[in-house]
Amino acid sequence: MSINSTQKPIDILFINPPSAFGAYENTKVSVFRQVFPLLSFMSLGGRLKQEGLKADILDLGIEKEPWGILRKTLEAAKPRFIGITSTTPLFFEVKDIAKIAREILGNEVKIIYGGPHATALPKESLEETEINIAVVSEGEETLKEILEGKNLSAIKGIFYKDGGKILSTSARGFIKNLDSLPMPDISLYDIRRYHCSGLVSRGTPVLHMETSRGCPSNCSFCNKNIFQRFFRTKSAERVVDEMKYFIKHGVGEFRIIDDQFATDIERAKKICKLMIKENIRVPWNLANGVRVDRVDQEFLDLAKKAGCYQVGIGFESGDQKSLDSIDKGITLEQAAKCMEMVKKAGLESVGFFMLGLPADTEESLKTIDFAVKMMPTYAKCTVTLPLPGTRMFDQYEKEGRIKTRDWSQYNFHKVGDVYKHPNLSAETLKRYYNLFYRRFYFNPRYLKMRIIKSIRDKTFLRDVYYGLKTFLPDFFSFLKLGK
């Protein structure tokens, strides 16, 4: 961001934590690191702009010296409000940002925290930090009312400090008509600063898009506390209008991050058909994945024709009992059928797999064999973590299985001893996590497929480089430190 003293003073400065894009450095998936403008800040900024309020963004995730930049920016900008969002593993950085802001700006600045962790643990978030207000769930209307100076006790959907007390207000209802929202304010970002590797994108810069909010599924490991299970959609016309708007601002690829883009399969097909009709030529993918029981061949073929090149697939496990233990509501047969249709459509695939589901035993970790059998273009395996705001966390906490609330240790790809699994030790999970990546990516059938694809796409040297980074992350970290 840049501060110009001749411009209108900033009402709110949005801050993205330094590790927002680097949480998985030196892990098996470091090569899949993605850097992108946060859609949440653009959405909030668009709503504030509509009311004549001025926002700016400081993205510490793309700065080489983030903490020094933070201090200089706060001293220069002196915003009335600071807005921060984060997932649970980054809460430790949120605490530091709030502390520094309080040191520099004193009690005049009001610090607002939103997002998954704030919604899951709003009271705790206030008790442990210099944060003044925690916004629970959807934030567009709540934030607008805070900045307009409305009495906090009359603003729905917040926890806030009042003297030595922490008070809360009643829940806020969801925005029912998503088409009524203004366009996300992409002008808040210099999007030229955002680059993803060719392994995870086909255009640059990459921008996240949402076409719906909420997920009707009931998986116990998933945090749905922001939009919950109330499924709401933007019309196909609005979705394509947003795409045109973003393309005008230089976006090179769209990443659809809906919890369930294909929940209403006919609407999903309508969006694809309208993209084709309107000649939208920017590549896109379904990054958050599709449910294996919600897609059909017609949709996948249409998506491919409309420019989609990659689909995430939530397999989770190769064991039916384990799948049932998280209330996933799918079968292994449906998973295999989905993979067959994706390949037939000519789409790349990213298979999502989890080790350590509640019913998992060493024998059920045959998920590795299932992944090899499915053979997606890429496979991403994580160790199951019970995160705040999920039914799994609540159940494990009730059973006394949560060992620590040091959220910095909660990393899907760095196996830590943060909870006691019903059947498996942390050491066992770590061993199978490493085994998964070796077994999948060094499988002869996979290597043959990748070599043929790399030669055909003229990406052989690039793919070798990223392969080495996947399996020798410590070596590449050493090289970086030696420069």
Q: What is the pLDDT of residues 372-381, one digit of tens each?
A: 999 999 999 9
Q: What is the pLDDT of residues 300-317, one digit of tens each?
A: 999 999 999 999 999 999
Q: What average pLDDT score do residues 444-463 get?
A: 79
**197 confidence band (pLDDT: 50, 70, 90):** confident
pLDDT of residue 2: 44
| pLDDT for 3 beyond 50 | no
| pLDDT for 483 beyond 50 | no
Q: What is the pLDDT of residues 278-291, one digit of tens each?
A: 999 999 999 888 99
Written out in words, the top-level CATH class of the domain with range 195-441 is alpha beta
Q: How far is CA 423 from the centre of its chain?
A: 29
DSSP per-residue letters across 330-383: --HHHHHHHHHHHHHHT-EEEEEEEE--TT--TGGGGHHHHHHHH--SEEEEEE
pLDDT of residue 409: 87
pLDDT of residue 49: 97
**474 confidence band (pLDDT: 50, 70, 90):** low
Residue spans per domain, the chain: 12-168, 195-441
pLDDT of residue 5: 39
pLDDT of residue 479: 45
| Burial of 405 from C-beta contacts in 10 A (0-12 / 13-18 / 19+) | middle
* Least-confidence region, from 8-17, 205-214, 304-313, 409-418: 409-418
pLDDT of residue 482: 47
Quickly tell me which residue has 């899949």 as its tokens.
Answer: 32
Beta bridge partners of 285: 255, 310
Q: Give the architecture-level CATH label for domain 12-168.
A: 3-Layer(aba) Sandwich (3.40)
Q: Which among 211, 214, 266 is positioned nearest to 238, based on CA atoms?
A: 211
pLDDT of residue 464: 66
For residue 253, the tally of other CB atoms under 10 A from its CB is 20
Percent with pLDDT over 90 in the chain: 76
Helix-helix angle 426-441:444-457, to 10 degrees: 50
Same topology between domain 12-168 and domain 195-441: no
Q: What average pLDDT score do residues 108-124 get?
A: 95
Q: Which residues, other chains included, contact 2 with Cβ-Cβ below 8 Å and sequence gap of 6+?
A: none
Q: Using a cut of 0.75, tell me whether the model's pTM lies above it.
A: yes
pLDDT of residue 460: 63
| Structure-token pair, residue 178 | 């998503």
**454 confidence band (pLDDT: 50, 70, 90):** confident
pLDDT of residue 473: 57
Q: What is the pLDDT of residues 208-266, one digit of tens each?
A: 999 999 888 889 998 876 667 789 999 999 999 999 999 999 999 999 999 889 999 99
- Distance between CA 318 and CA 70 in Å, rounded? 45
- Tell me what the pLDDT averaged over the chain comes to: 90
For residue 394, the tally of other CB atoms under 10 A from its CB is 14
pLDDT of residue 468: 63
| pLDDT for 444 beyond 60 | yes
| pLDDT for 30 beyond 70 | no
| pLDDT for 6 beyond 50 | no
* Least-confidence region, from 59-63, 183-187, 201-205: 201-205
Q: What is the pLDDT of residues 130-157, one digit of tens each?
A: 999 999 999 999 999 999 999 999 999 9
* Least-confidence region, from 323-327, 442-446, 474-478: 474-478
* Least-confidence region, from 19-23, 240-244, 267-271: 19-23
SS3 448: helix
Q: What average pLDDT score do residues 97-106 get?
A: 98
pLDDT of residue 452: 84
pLDDT top residue among 278 and 20: 278
pLDDT of residue 34: 78
